[in-house]
Amino acid sequence: AKRGWRERLSGSAFARGLSALFTRHPKLDDELLDELETTLIGADVGVETSSALVEDLRRRMHKREFADADALLAALRQALVARLAPVQQPLRPDGAKPFVVLVVGINGVGKTTTIGKLARRWRDEGREVLLAAGDTFRAAAVEQLKTWGERNGVPVIAQGQGADAASVIFDALQAARSRGADVLIADTAGRLHTQGGLMDELSKIARVLKKLDPDAPHEVLMVIDGTTGQNALSQVRQFRQLVGVTGLVVTKLDGTAKGGVVFALAREFGLPIRFVGLGEQATDLQPFDAEAYVDGLLP
């Protein structure tokens, strides 16, 4: 599985930029480091992180710590892994039954796909999973979840479009309890008419869940699209004002994502990155692994 990461991440601006840089400029000098900084910033790593990383490498290079480009790359690898290691905190849906996961994020980021992939993963691990079609704002979202559930034999609790999301999710938690399910994954709207409407809806969902289980939701998982760069950061900032996000999923890192946004997210929020999406197949949602990720980006 770890080998798949390299294959999926090699198309990113980060991986391509770095590989081109070290081929073109294998000599250890200040120009190499200037270009390295530009490459990292261009790959969405963020200005502060890129500058701090490069200045540390520059200081060490001037002290002749690196014999060659490989030694410099090894130091870069270590520094990058160190920045991601703190956010590598896997999500195991245990410790409560049912373990309630509320999935939030704006439309189009891969929320429904991620719910399907998570359901598959946890079911394949032997858990009984139930889904709640809580994005009642979009008829297509309810249909998409139901279709997925039918195809995969995972029950989906849904009401019609326009139904009260909190009521759907409350019913689903009751159903999950009476069936003895292990995990309930609840979809939520990605956008309502107003930001205030979404905030009211999410807080109402949290409130009604707590009537049945004071600790629910056990995880509020925010899904973000890795191809949207700085925009992904502002989405997290916005959602954190609406609801207490406890973990992130970064999708589409296999496509046109630049690759660096994960570093910017780790620096700015320090929120656990639970999973990353490396493709459209069910098995392409992988628990975040800092070393595999960095190794996938480096030449």
Which position's Cβ is nearest ligand GDP?
277
List contacts with ligand GDP (CB under 6 A).
Answer: 107-113, 190, 251-252, 254-255, 277-280, 284
Q: How far is the CB of 280 from ligand GDP (least distance, A)?
A: 4
Q: How far is the CB of 107 from ligand GDP (least distance, A)?
A: 4
> What DSSP designation does 110 have?
S
182 vs 225, which CB is nearer to ligand GDP? 225
76 vs 257, which CB is nearer to ligand GDP? 257
The 3-state DSSP class for residue 188 equals coil
Q: What is the DSSP string of 239-281?
A: HHHHS---EEEEE-TTTT--STHHHHHHHHH---EEEEE-SSS
- Is 254 marked as binding a ligand? yes
76 vs 157, which CB is nearer to ligand GDP? 157
- Is 215 marked as binding a ligand? no
108 vs 244, which CB is nearer to ligand GDP? 108
Helix (H) / strand (E) containing 141? helix 139-152
- Is 228 marked as binding a ligand? no
- Is 112 marked as binding a ligand? yes
Read off the amino acid at residue 144: Q
26 vs 197, which CB is nearer to ligand GDP? 197
Cβ burial 266-287 (10 Å sphere, 16+ → b, else e): bbebebbbbbbbbbeeeebbbb
Q: How far is the CB of 96 from ligand GDP (least distance, A)?
A: 25
- Is 109 marked as binding a ligand? yes
Q: How far is the CB of 116 from ligand GDP (least distance, A)?
A: 8
Q: How far is the CB of 38 from ligand GDP (least distance, A)?
A: 27
Rounded to whole angstroms, the Cα distance separating 45 from 56 reads 16
17 vs 279, which CB is nearer to ligand GDP? 279
SS (H, E, C) 56-107: HHHHHHHCCCCCCHHHHHHHHHHHHHHHHHHHCCCCCCCCCCCEEEEEECCC
- Is 251 marked as binding a ligand? yes
Q: How far is the CB of 8 from ligand GDP (least distance, A)?
A: 9
- Is 152 marked as binding a ligand? no
The vertex-6 CA angle with 117 and 45, nearest 5°, equals 90
What Cα–Cα distance (Å) separates residue 144 from each residue in 1, 108, 141, 168, 176?
Answer: 28, 13, 5, 16, 20
- Is 39 marked as binding a ligand? no
Question: Which residues contribute to the annotated binding site for GTP?
Answer: 105-112, 187-191, 251-254
Question: Which residues contribute to the annotated binding site?
Answer: 105-112, 187-191, 251-254
